[in-house]
Amino acid sequence: MPVLDTAALLHWPVERLCGGIVAHSQLEELRKLSNQRAILVESIEIKWMTVDTKDAEIAASETGDLPRLSPVDLDILALAMATGETLFTDDYSLQNVCRNLGHLFESVSNKVSNEQWIWELRCIGCRATRKADSKNEEICDVCGSVMKVKRAS
């Protein structure tokens, strides 16, 4: 039973979705994107689950992807980690975290990312860096400028 991100719920044929694992939080996201599709997805055999996201947040912090992931993304990642099932996602940040964990993933319709990235916070003023492990905007301790998430060199 694969874990499916919202792209799969939107684009895959119904028969391919059957038996998949999805997060309860995806339903609201799906309703915003396509209420008609949400009604259809609710009517098929899918396993709706919710699990604690703490381990997913820690895993995303390790690669610096946490600021790039929505609460729904974290729910999906947490499901994949908890069940050990393959995660189907086009989200490169989710793929990046899975690759770092050694967790199986496949794309929904886009090309799979092919390299591991690590993200860091970089000051726009003095260019000081630190680990990107928070969703909060950071202020540089050195010069007081805003720090932005950038790919580590």
Rounded Cα distance between 105 and 96, Å, is 10
Superfamily for domain range 3-106:
5'-nuclease (3.40.50.1010)
Residue 111 reports pLDDT greater than 80: no
Tens digits of residue pLDDT in 45-87:
999 999 999 999 999 988 888 888 999 999 999 999 999 999 9
Across 24-28, 37-41, 127-131, least confident range = 127-131
Domain extent listing, the chain: 3-106, 119-151
φ/ψ of 105, rounded to 5, equals: -145, 155
CA torsion sign, 38 to 10 to 56 to 85?
A: positive
Query: What does pTM read for this prediction?
Result: 0.80
- Asked whether residue 136 carries a pLDDT value surpassing 70, the answer given is no
What pLDDT, on the 0 to 100 scale, is given for residue 114? 74
